[in-house]
Amino acid sequence: MSKKTFSCMVSVTLLSGSERNVYLVLDQKPTRINQKLKTLDQYIQKYPSGWKKRLELANLLYATGDWQRAIEEYHQVIERQPQLVEVYLNLGKMLQLMGQEADAVAVYEKALSQVRHEATQQHLGGLIAVCRHDLEAAIVAFESATALEPDNMTHWLALGRLQMQKEDISGALGTFDHILSVHPNDIVALIDSYDALMILGDVGEAEVRLLRMLELAPDDCHVLKRQIETRCRMGLVWEKEGKQTKKMIDTARQRMTTVEGLALLAYYHIAREEFAEGVKILARLTEEHPINPKSWHSYGWGLFHAGQYQKAASAMETAYKLSGEDAQIYRDWCKILQAARQSQQRAKLQERVTGV
């Protein structure tokens, strides 16, 4: 993905009823959306048997987060053009992310019946295994796909992300590094490798990659998010630097979902030790978006930094359940539980020592 792309975030509703923020990388930025939707709808009503304009409509609905309608239109396209593998992949991805895993499996299996290319068959097999929560089989399938078609970075990216999901962070970093050795400007691999490095504690190398990301895609919403988080972590929240950080947050909020944008604003206040204001913003997020795991995840971190460990652990538990057992939320929850236990131990020790 070294070519010029456009990124955005959309909020979608899962089968369970919870919300999910999804990061999309598109070939180009959608423009004149309402006008295009109206024109495409009119065309399809006039020529219902056609598929090209229907596919264009489905892709636009996908890019703008109207996934229920996009799913309907993709199904219609498949009925008319069953050989279009990319359509199956988009449709399956949406169903999978929305928690409709059985439906996603059916789509991927239908795609398999249309494919003769062995590497693509293995990739589809990996996607099916992920939907069935058989991560070991998925790893084998994606590794087979990379061996059969080593120049296709889509296989490597799927493998790396699955390794992250399995908590094989070092293995995932090696996979992302392989992608970057072939395509050093791949912004998605850079972002994923940055996250792996941060988990491994290699902050120095992570910051080197962040600088590279800023050179390549300064307006990418995921890059902006990581830049802002880094500036807050470094204490660049006061005076002139603070104004610059706040300006970045205002820019980022225009490109992100409400939840992601307000979470950054809350982190900014927390970095300024304005804990009450930061926690207030995050608490409001959980009230306005009670089924979005990001709301509770952010609230948990805010409470943690404010020293409210028990409430933070409870918020993280809610986030974990809503997320469908997200690995990153689980890691953060464990950190907070450890801090809560240490806090309790310190309180008990102080009570024994002071008698208070």
Q: Please name each of the domains of the chain with its CATH number.
A: 221-356 (1.25.40.10)
pLDDT of 3 > 70? The answer is no
Average pLDDT, the chain: 93
Q: Encode pLDDT of 291-343 as tens digits.
A: 999 999 999 999 999 999 999 999 999 999 998 888 899 999 999 999 888 87
**pTM for this one?**
0.89
pLDDT digits (tens, 9 = 90+) for 15-46: 777 788 888 888 878 888 899 999 999 999 99
Give the pLDDT score at 135. 96
**What's the pLDDT band for 1 if we cut at 50, 70, 90?**
very low
Residue with tokens 């919403």: 221
pLDDT surpasses 90 at 354:
no
**Beta pairing partners, 26:** 6
Name which of 291, 283, 282, 290 is nearest 260 in CA terms. 282
Q: How many CB atoms lie within 10 A of CB 280?
A: 14
pLDDT at 191: 96
Residue 117, φ and ψ in degrees, nearest 5:
-75, 120
User: What is the structure's pLDDT at 36?
Assistant: 94
Q: What is the mean pLDDT of residues 60-67?
A: 93
Bridge partners for 8 per DSSP: 24
